Amino acid sequence: MSKTAGPALRAQPLRIEDTDPAVEYKGGWHLVKDGDASGGSYHRRVGPKNGVGAHPTVCLVFFGDAVTYVYATSTVGGSADVYLDGGDLAETVSFAGPTNEPTFGASSTFDDLGEGPHEIVVAYRTGIAYVDAFEVAPASGPAAADAMAPASDSVTEMT
């Protein structure tokens, strides 16, 4: 007997690593190679916002019904605000954790977004902010990211 419908045939979530060209960084994010991070690297933002008007952000335009923001935590972890679809604040994420070195696997999920394109923006606030990956859950079609959406890229590579 073969299945023609149901959860087993639903499209799988799409993992988007921090280095994917669809992820847009603005305002001094640093790429750090780390074997414990998803895909072997993560991005971090350290320090002040660099003056009035500077808005360090990470943006991803995607197609799916839900998105999970995957990040690290540490004793020097700060915070960031998460916005969806240009709307009001969805959540303030804390990167505070019990270890000095980044611990990977923390996440925040935003679901029931509905059909169509969506945008998640992570806006740096304080301390150290982390981006490890995003995971997009499909709606009625396959999940996808829009690699053409980023308008600029502000990343410094750290080894």
**What does 42-60 look like in DSSP terms, one character per residue?**
EEEEES---STT---EEEE
Residue 49 pLDDT exceeds 80:
no
Q: Which residues touch 57 (CB under 8 Å, ≥6 apart)?
A: 24, 25, 26, 27, 121, 122, 123, 124
Mean pLDDT of 143-155: 66
Q: Phi-psi bin for 47: left (phi > 0), alpha (psi -120 to 50), beta? A: left
Helix (DSSP H) and strand (DSSP E) numbers for the chain: 0, 14
Domain layout of the chain by residue ranges: 13-158
List b or e across 50-74, with b for residues whose CB sees 16 or more CB atoms inside 10 angstroms.
eeeeeebbbbbbbbbbbbbbbbbbb
Q: pLDDT digits over 117-148, tens only?
A: 999 999 999 999 999 999 999 877 777 787 77
- Write down the pLDDT at residue 50: 57
Confidence of residue 83 (pLDDT cuts 50, 70, 90): very high
Q: pLDDT digits over 88-117, tens only?
A: 999 999 999 999 999 999 999 999 999 889
To which CATH superfamily is domain 13-158 assigned? Galactose-binding domain-like (2.60.120.260)
* Percent over 70 (pLDDT), the chain: 82
Which amino acid belongs to residue 22? A
Which of these, 48, 53, 112, 52, lies nearest to 84 by C-alpha position?
112
Residue 75 pLDDT exceeds 90:
yes
- φ, ψ at 8 (rounded to 5°): -65, -25
> Cα separation of 48 and 67, whole Å?
28
Long-range contact list for 4-10, CB < 8 A, 24+ apart? 10/138
